[in-house]
Structure 1
Amino acid sequence: MHHWLREVFSLDNPQLLRIQENLKVLKLHRTSQQLEMLLQEASKNEVSYSDFLDKLLEEEISLKHEKHMALSTALAKFPYIKTLESFDFSFQPSIDPKIIRELATCSFIDRAENLILLGPPGTGKSHLSVALGLKAIQKKYRTLFIPATALIASLNKAYAENRLEERLKLYCVSKLLIIDEIGYVPVDVHGAHLLFQLISRRYERGSIILTSNRGFGQWGEIFGDTIIATAILDRLLHHSTVINIKGESYRLKRSNAPD
Protein backbone atom coordinates (compact mmCIF):
# COMPACT_ATOMS: atom_id res chain seq x y z
CA MET A 1 0.00 0.00 0.00
CA HIS A 2 1.26 3.50 -0.83
CA HIS A 3 2.13 5.34 2.36
CA TRP A 4 0.10 8.40 1.35
CA LEU A 5 -2.99 6.23 0.98
CA ARG A 6 -2.43 4.66 4.40
CA GLU A 7 -2.27 8.12 5.89
CA VAL A 8 -5.25 9.55 4.04
CA PHE A 9 -7.66 6.61 4.27
CA SER A 10 -9.19 7.08 7.65
CA LEU A 11 -12.82 7.93 8.31
CA ASP A 12 -11.88 10.51 10.93
CA ASN A 13 -8.90 11.88 9.05
CA PRO A 14 -9.36 15.67 8.77
CA GLN A 15 -7.37 15.59 5.54
CA LEU A 16 -9.91 13.21 3.99
CA LEU A 17 -12.75 15.48 5.09
CA ARG A 18 -10.94 18.49 3.66
CA ILE A 19 -10.39 16.70 0.35
CA GLN A 20 -14.07 15.87 0.15
CA GLU A 21 -15.05 19.46 0.86
CA ASN A 22 -12.65 20.76 -1.78
CA LEU A 23 -14.02 18.27 -4.29
CA LYS A 24 -17.51 19.64 -3.63
CA VAL A 25 -16.28 23.22 -4.08
CA LEU A 26 -14.81 22.18 -7.43
CA LYS A 27 -18.13 20.45 -8.21
CA LEU A 28 -16.41 17.09 -8.57
CA HIS A 29 -19.43 15.43 -7.02
CA ARG A 30 -18.93 11.84 -8.16
CA THR A 31 -15.37 11.78 -6.85
CA SER A 32 -16.55 13.28 -3.58
CA GLN A 33 -19.20 10.59 -3.20
CA GLN A 34 -16.90 7.73 -4.18
CA LEU A 35 -13.64 8.96 -2.66
CA GLU A 36 -13.42 6.38 0.10
CA MET A 37 -14.20 3.52 -2.28
CA LEU A 38 -11.64 4.80 -4.78
CA LEU A 39 -9.04 5.07 -2.05
CA GLN A 40 -9.78 1.54 -0.92
CA GLU A 41 -9.42 0.23 -4.46
CA ALA A 42 -6.18 2.15 -4.93
CA SER A 43 -4.85 0.77 -1.67
CA LYS A 44 -5.85 -2.80 -2.50
CA ASN A 45 -4.44 -2.74 -6.03
CA GLU A 46 -1.45 -0.51 -5.25
CA VAL A 47 -2.12 1.72 -8.21
CA SER A 48 0.25 4.43 -9.33
CA TYR A 49 -0.41 8.11 -8.69
CA SER A 50 -1.16 8.72 -12.36
CA ASP A 51 -3.55 5.76 -12.55
CA PHE A 52 -5.38 6.98 -9.46
CA LEU A 53 -5.74 10.49 -10.91
CA ASP A 54 -6.78 9.05 -14.27
CA LYS A 55 -9.56 7.08 -12.55
CA LEU A 56 -10.82 10.18 -10.73
CA LEU A 57 -10.95 12.25 -13.89
CA GLU A 58 -12.60 9.44 -15.85
CA GLU A 59 -15.40 9.21 -13.31
CA GLU A 60 -16.01 12.97 -13.42
CA ILE A 61 -16.01 13.14 -17.21
CA SER A 62 -18.48 10.24 -17.28
CA LEU A 63 -20.81 12.05 -14.88
CA LYS A 64 -20.65 15.33 -16.80
CA HIS A 65 -21.40 13.49 -20.06
CA GLU A 66 -24.40 11.78 -18.48
CA LYS A 67 -25.73 15.11 -17.19
CA HIS A 68 -25.15 16.81 -20.55
CA MET A 69 -26.99 14.05 -22.40
CA ALA A 70 -29.92 14.07 -19.96
CA LEU A 71 -30.34 17.86 -20.02
CA SER A 72 -29.83 18.26 -23.77
CA THR A 73 -32.21 15.40 -24.53
CA ALA A 74 -34.88 17.00 -22.33
CA LEU A 75 -34.37 20.40 -23.99
CA ALA A 76 -34.64 18.79 -27.45
CA LYS A 77 -38.27 17.82 -26.67
CA PHE A 78 -38.21 14.51 -28.51
CA PRO A 79 -41.61 12.76 -28.51
CA TYR A 80 -39.81 9.51 -27.64
CA ILE A 81 -36.30 8.09 -27.54
CA LYS A 82 -35.33 5.85 -30.44
CA THR A 83 -31.82 5.02 -31.58
CA LEU A 84 -30.20 4.13 -34.87
CA GLU A 85 -29.19 0.81 -33.35
CA SER A 86 -32.88 -0.10 -32.98
CA PHE A 87 -33.82 0.86 -36.55
CA ASP A 88 -34.69 -2.14 -38.76
CA PHE A 89 -32.92 -1.42 -42.02
CA SER A 90 -33.85 -4.86 -43.37
CA PHE A 91 -37.52 -3.81 -43.33
CA GLN A 92 -36.74 -0.65 -45.32
CA PRO A 93 -34.35 -1.72 -48.13
CA SER A 94 -34.85 1.64 -49.90
CA ILE A 95 -32.67 3.23 -47.18
CA ASP A 96 -28.91 2.86 -47.64
CA PRO A 97 -27.40 2.22 -44.18
CA LYS A 98 -24.10 3.73 -45.37
CA ILE A 99 -25.79 7.09 -45.94
CA ILE A 100 -27.36 6.99 -42.48
CA ARG A 101 -24.02 6.08 -40.89
CA GLU A 102 -22.42 9.05 -42.64
CA LEU A 103 -25.21 11.32 -41.42
CA ALA A 104 -24.68 9.94 -37.90
CA THR A 105 -21.18 11.45 -37.89
CA CYS A 106 -22.99 14.82 -37.91
CA SER A 107 -20.57 16.29 -40.44
CA PHE A 108 -23.63 17.62 -42.29
CA ILE A 109 -24.34 19.78 -39.23
CA ASP A 110 -20.82 21.19 -39.38
CA ARG A 111 -21.57 22.19 -42.96
CA ALA A 112 -25.04 23.58 -42.08
CA GLU A 113 -26.65 21.17 -44.55
CA ASN A 114 -30.16 19.75 -44.39
CA LEU A 115 -31.72 16.30 -44.46
CA ILE A 116 -35.16 15.66 -45.97
CA LEU A 117 -36.88 12.35 -45.19
CA LEU A 118 -39.83 11.57 -47.46
CA GLY A 119 -42.16 8.58 -47.31
CA PRO A 120 -45.58 7.24 -46.35
CA PRO A 121 -46.69 7.28 -42.71
CA GLY A 122 -45.13 4.70 -40.43
CA THR A 123 -41.99 4.07 -42.48
CA GLY A 124 -39.51 5.27 -39.88
CA LYS A 125 -38.95 8.90 -40.84
CA SER A 126 -39.52 10.26 -37.34
CA HIS A 127 -37.53 7.38 -35.82
CA LEU A 128 -34.53 8.28 -37.97
CA SER A 129 -34.87 12.00 -37.23
CA VAL A 130 -34.93 11.38 -33.46
CA ALA A 131 -32.04 8.92 -33.68
CA LEU A 132 -29.91 11.39 -35.64
CA GLY A 133 -30.93 14.10 -33.17
CA LEU A 134 -29.56 11.95 -30.35
CA LYS A 135 -26.30 11.49 -32.27
CA ALA A 136 -26.10 15.28 -32.63
CA ILE A 137 -26.57 15.72 -28.88
CA GLN A 138 -23.82 13.19 -28.20
CA LYS A 139 -21.54 15.40 -30.27
CA LYS A 140 -22.70 18.44 -28.27
CA TYR A 141 -24.83 20.08 -30.95
CA ARG A 142 -27.86 21.84 -29.52
CA THR A 143 -30.94 20.18 -30.99
CA LEU A 144 -34.68 20.89 -31.04
CA PHE A 145 -37.49 18.65 -32.28
CA ILE A 146 -40.88 20.18 -33.13
CA PRO A 147 -43.91 18.94 -35.11
CA ALA A 148 -44.64 21.12 -38.14
CA THR A 149 -48.13 21.99 -36.89
CA ALA A 150 -46.77 23.16 -33.54
CA LEU A 151 -44.04 25.18 -35.28
CA ILE A 152 -46.50 26.99 -37.55
CA ALA A 153 -48.85 27.65 -34.63
CA SER A 154 -45.96 29.03 -32.58
CA LEU A 155 -44.86 31.36 -35.39
CA ASN A 156 -48.42 32.54 -35.98
CA LYS A 157 -48.90 33.26 -32.29
CA ALA A 158 -45.62 35.17 -32.11
CA TYR A 159 -46.59 37.20 -35.19
CA ALA A 160 -49.97 38.09 -33.65
CA GLU A 161 -48.22 39.19 -30.44
CA ASN A 162 -45.59 41.20 -32.34
CA ARG A 163 -42.85 38.85 -31.10
CA LEU A 164 -41.96 37.14 -34.39
CA GLU A 165 -38.32 38.31 -34.40
CA GLU A 166 -37.84 36.96 -30.91
CA ARG A 167 -39.36 33.59 -31.86
CA LEU A 168 -37.31 33.32 -35.06
CA LYS A 169 -34.14 33.90 -33.05
CA LEU A 170 -35.23 31.20 -30.59
CA TYR A 171 -35.64 28.66 -33.38
CA CYS A 172 -32.24 29.59 -34.80
CA VAL A 173 -30.34 28.92 -31.58
CA SER A 174 -30.20 25.15 -32.13
CA LYS A 175 -27.57 23.89 -34.55
CA LEU A 176 -30.05 21.17 -35.56
CA LEU A 177 -33.77 21.86 -35.91
CA ILE A 178 -35.99 18.84 -36.60
CA ILE A 179 -39.34 19.70 -38.21
CA ASP A 180 -41.57 16.65 -38.19
CA GLU A 181 -44.54 15.78 -40.40
CA ILE A 182 -44.79 18.55 -42.97
CA GLY A 183 -47.85 17.79 -45.11
CA TYR A 184 -50.06 15.96 -42.64
CA VAL A 185 -52.07 19.15 -42.13
CA PRO A 186 -52.37 21.91 -44.76
CA VAL A 187 -50.60 25.19 -43.97
CA ASP A 188 -52.25 28.51 -44.82
CA VAL A 189 -50.35 31.01 -46.96
CA HIS A 190 -49.50 33.25 -44.00
CA GLY A 191 -48.09 30.29 -42.08
CA ALA A 192 -46.10 29.27 -45.15
CA HIS A 193 -44.56 32.75 -45.36
CA LEU A 194 -43.57 32.57 -41.68
CA LEU A 195 -41.99 29.15 -42.23
CA PHE A 196 -40.11 30.56 -45.22
CA GLN A 197 -38.71 33.31 -42.98
CA LEU A 198 -37.44 30.73 -40.50
CA ILE A 199 -35.88 28.52 -43.17
CA SER A 200 -34.27 31.58 -44.79
CA ARG A 201 -32.90 32.68 -41.41
CA ARG A 202 -31.29 29.27 -40.88
CA TYR A 203 -30.05 28.98 -44.49
CA GLU A 204 -26.32 28.09 -44.48
CA ARG A 205 -26.22 28.81 -40.72
CA GLY A 206 -27.93 25.83 -39.14
CA SER A 207 -29.11 22.39 -40.21
CA ILE A 208 -32.70 21.20 -40.57
CA ILE A 209 -33.99 17.64 -40.60
CA LEU A 210 -37.47 17.68 -42.13
CA THR A 211 -39.86 14.76 -42.52
CA SER A 212 -42.84 14.68 -44.88
CA ASN A 213 -45.34 12.17 -46.24
CA ARG A 214 -45.76 14.21 -49.41
CA GLY A 215 -43.51 14.41 -52.48
CA PHE A 216 -42.07 17.78 -53.46
CA GLY A 217 -44.52 18.07 -56.34
CA GLN A 218 -47.35 18.23 -53.80
CA TRP A 219 -45.89 20.97 -51.63
CA GLY A 220 -47.83 23.63 -53.53
CA GLU A 221 -50.98 21.95 -52.21
CA ILE A 222 -49.59 21.79 -48.66
CA PHE A 223 -48.90 25.52 -48.55
CA GLY A 224 -51.72 26.65 -50.81
CA ASP A 225 -49.22 28.59 -52.94
CA THR A 226 -46.83 27.16 -55.52
CA ILE A 227 -44.54 30.19 -55.40
CA ILE A 228 -43.92 30.06 -51.65
CA ALA A 229 -43.58 26.26 -51.81
CA THR A 230 -40.91 26.65 -54.50
CA ALA A 231 -39.10 29.30 -52.43
CA ILE A 232 -39.09 27.03 -49.34
CA LEU A 233 -37.80 24.08 -51.35
CA ASP A 234 -35.13 26.24 -52.97
CA ARG A 235 -33.64 27.05 -49.56
CA LEU A 236 -34.05 23.55 -48.15
CA LEU A 237 -32.65 21.63 -51.10
CA HIS A 238 -29.65 23.80 -51.97
CA HIS A 239 -27.41 21.99 -49.47
CA SER A 240 -29.24 18.81 -48.57
CA THR A 241 -29.53 15.05 -48.59
CA VAL A 242 -32.91 13.66 -49.63
CA ILE A 243 -33.94 10.14 -48.61
CA ASN A 244 -37.12 8.80 -50.20
CA ILE A 245 -38.42 5.84 -48.19
CA LYS A 246 -40.56 3.53 -50.29
CA GLY A 247 -41.12 0.70 -47.83
CA GLU A 248 -44.11 -0.48 -45.85
CA SER A 249 -45.40 0.89 -42.58
CA TYR A 250 -43.90 -0.52 -39.37
CA ARG A 251 -47.14 0.24 -37.56
CA LEU A 252 -49.22 -1.68 -40.12
CA LYS A 253 -46.77 -4.55 -39.90
CA ARG A 254 -47.21 -4.72 -36.13
CA SER A 255 -50.99 -4.37 -36.29
CA ASN A 256 -51.22 -7.18 -38.86
CA ALA A 257 -48.90 -9.46 -36.93
CA PRO A 258 -50.50 -12.66 -35.59
CA ASP A 259 -51.28 -12.75 -31.88
Structure 2
Amino acid sequence: MRHVGKDCLVAFDGNLYSVPARRVRPRQLVEIRATKSQVTLHLTAPQSSGETLLAAHPRAAGRGARVVDEKHDGLPTGAGRRVTTGDVPPQPRRERSPAPAGPLHALFNRAAVTQVEVGRRPLSVYDELTGTRPFTTCPSTKESS
Protein backbone atom coordinates (compact mmCIF):
# COMPACT_ATOMS: atom_id res chain seq x y z
CA MET A 1 0.00 0.00 0.00
CA ARG A 2 1.31 3.44 -0.93
CA HIS A 3 -0.09 6.97 -1.09
CA VAL A 4 -0.58 8.83 -4.38
CA GLY A 5 1.40 12.07 -4.52
CA LYS A 6 -0.05 15.41 -5.63
CA ASP A 7 1.83 14.91 -8.88
CA CYS A 8 0.11 11.56 -9.64
CA LEU A 9 3.23 9.57 -8.85
CA VAL A 10 3.47 6.65 -6.43
CA ALA A 11 6.76 5.79 -4.74
CA PHE A 12 7.76 2.15 -4.63
CA ASP A 13 11.16 0.52 -4.12
CA GLY A 14 13.02 3.82 -4.58
CA ASN A 15 11.28 4.68 -7.86
CA LEU A 16 8.21 6.67 -8.93
CA TYR A 17 5.35 5.21 -11.00
CA SER A 18 2.53 7.21 -12.61
CA VAL A 19 -1.22 6.76 -12.19
CA PRO A 20 -4.01 8.54 -14.11
CA ALA A 21 -5.14 11.66 -12.25
CA ARG A 22 -8.80 11.30 -13.26
CA ARG A 23 -9.06 8.09 -11.23
CA VAL A 24 -7.28 9.04 -7.99
CA ARG A 25 -6.99 11.87 -5.49
CA PRO A 26 -3.94 13.10 -3.55
CA ARG A 27 -2.94 10.93 -0.55
CA GLN A 28 -5.25 8.12 -1.70
CA LEU A 29 -3.97 4.66 -0.83
CA VAL A 30 -3.30 2.35 -3.75
CA GLU A 31 -2.19 -1.26 -3.74
CA ILE A 32 1.05 -2.20 -5.46
CA ARG A 33 1.56 -5.66 -6.92
CA ALA A 34 5.08 -6.24 -8.14
CA THR A 35 6.90 -9.02 -9.91
CA LYS A 36 10.51 -9.08 -11.11
CA SER A 37 9.50 -7.48 -14.40
CA GLN A 38 6.30 -5.51 -13.76
CA VAL A 39 4.65 -3.17 -11.26
CA THR A 40 0.87 -2.80 -11.28
CA LEU A 41 -1.03 -0.23 -9.25
CA HIS A 42 -4.56 -1.01 -8.12
CA LEU A 43 -7.43 0.74 -6.35
CA THR A 44 -8.10 -0.60 -2.86
CA ALA A 45 -11.85 -0.78 -3.57
CA PRO A 46 -13.22 -1.95 -6.92
CA GLN A 47 -15.12 0.47 -9.14
CA SER A 48 -18.72 -0.22 -10.13
CA SER A 49 -17.39 -2.29 -13.04
CA GLY A 50 -15.34 -4.40 -10.60
CA GLU A 51 -12.04 -3.18 -12.05
CA THR A 52 -9.19 -2.16 -9.74
CA LEU A 53 -6.25 -1.79 -12.16
CA LEU A 54 -4.97 1.80 -12.41
CA ALA A 55 -1.67 1.31 -14.23
CA ALA A 56 0.86 -1.32 -15.31
CA HIS A 57 4.52 -0.42 -15.75
CA PRO A 58 7.75 -2.27 -16.43
CA ARG A 59 9.71 -2.53 -13.18
CA ALA A 60 12.57 -0.04 -13.01
CA ALA A 61 16.09 -1.34 -12.55
CA GLY A 62 17.94 0.38 -9.73
CA ARG A 63 16.65 3.36 -7.80
CA GLY A 64 15.64 6.94 -8.58
CA ALA A 65 13.80 6.23 -11.85
CA ARG A 66 10.53 7.84 -12.92
CA VAL A 67 8.38 5.39 -14.83
CA VAL A 68 5.65 7.44 -16.51
CA ASP A 69 2.93 6.50 -18.95
CA GLU A 70 2.45 9.59 -21.15
CA LYS A 71 -1.26 8.74 -21.54
CA HIS A 72 -1.80 9.49 -17.84
CA ASP A 73 -3.26 12.95 -17.27
CA GLY A 74 -2.22 15.33 -14.49
CA LEU A 75 1.48 14.52 -14.61
CA PRO A 76 4.12 17.17 -13.85
CA THR A 77 5.17 19.22 -16.87
CA GLY A 78 8.37 20.62 -15.40
CA ALA A 79 6.74 24.03 -14.93
CA GLY A 80 5.59 23.14 -11.43
CA ARG A 81 3.67 20.41 -9.72
CA ARG A 82 0.26 19.53 -11.08
CA VAL A 83 -2.43 18.18 -8.81
CA THR A 84 -4.61 15.20 -9.46
CA THR A 85 -7.80 15.92 -11.35
CA GLY A 86 -9.75 12.86 -10.24
CA ASP A 87 -13.50 12.43 -10.06
CA VAL A 88 -13.33 13.22 -6.34
CA PRO A 89 -13.18 17.02 -6.06
CA PRO A 90 -10.58 18.33 -3.63
CA GLN A 91 -12.02 19.48 -0.33
CA PRO A 92 -11.80 23.24 0.22
CA ARG A 93 -9.58 24.32 3.04
CA ARG A 94 -11.43 25.48 6.08
CA GLU A 95 -10.31 28.81 7.42
CA ARG A 96 -9.74 28.77 11.13
CA SER A 97 -11.07 31.60 13.19
CA PRO A 98 -8.42 32.68 15.64
CA ALA A 99 -9.16 31.65 19.21
CA PRO A 100 -8.73 34.64 21.50
CA ALA A 101 -7.18 32.72 24.41
CA GLY A 102 -5.92 29.56 22.73
CA PRO A 103 -7.30 26.08 22.14
CA LEU A 104 -7.67 25.22 25.82
CA HIS A 105 -9.92 28.22 26.36
CA ALA A 106 -12.06 27.19 23.38
CA LEU A 107 -12.34 23.63 24.72
CA PHE A 108 -13.45 24.83 28.15
CA ASN A 109 -16.02 27.17 26.63
CA ARG A 110 -17.64 24.23 24.79
CA ALA A 111 -17.61 21.84 27.74
CA ALA A 112 -19.88 21.62 30.77
CA VAL A 113 -16.74 21.59 32.89
CA THR A 114 -16.91 25.37 33.00
CA GLN A 115 -19.94 25.12 35.28
CA VAL A 116 -18.16 23.04 37.95
CA GLU A 117 -17.22 24.88 41.14
CA VAL A 118 -13.69 24.03 42.22
CA GLY A 119 -12.62 24.17 45.86
CA ARG A 120 -9.42 26.08 46.61
CA ARG A 121 -7.10 25.42 49.52
CA PRO A 122 -3.43 26.04 50.27
CA LEU A 123 -0.91 23.32 49.40
CA SER A 124 0.08 23.06 53.07
CA VAL A 125 -3.22 21.21 53.66
CA TYR A 126 -1.93 18.36 51.47
CA ASP A 127 1.39 18.34 53.31
CA GLU A 128 -0.49 17.87 56.59
CA LEU A 129 -2.68 15.11 55.13
CA THR A 130 0.25 13.09 53.80
CA GLY A 131 2.56 13.75 56.72
CA THR A 132 5.21 15.38 54.57
CA ARG A 133 6.81 18.71 54.99
CA PRO A 134 6.91 21.42 52.35
CA PHE A 135 9.69 21.42 49.77
CA THR A 136 12.56 23.78 50.60
CA THR A 137 15.68 24.64 48.64
CA CYS A 138 17.91 24.51 51.71
CA PRO A 139 18.31 21.07 53.29
CA SER A 140 17.83 20.89 57.05
CA THR A 141 20.84 20.29 59.28
CA LYS A 142 19.61 16.76 60.08
CA GLU A 143 19.70 15.74 56.37
CA SER A 144 23.19 17.08 55.73
CA SER A 145 24.90 14.96 58.40
Which structure: greater helix fraction?
A: 1
Structure whose CA Rg is larger: 2
TM-score, normalising length: structure 1: 0.16
TM-score, normalising length: structure 2: 0.24
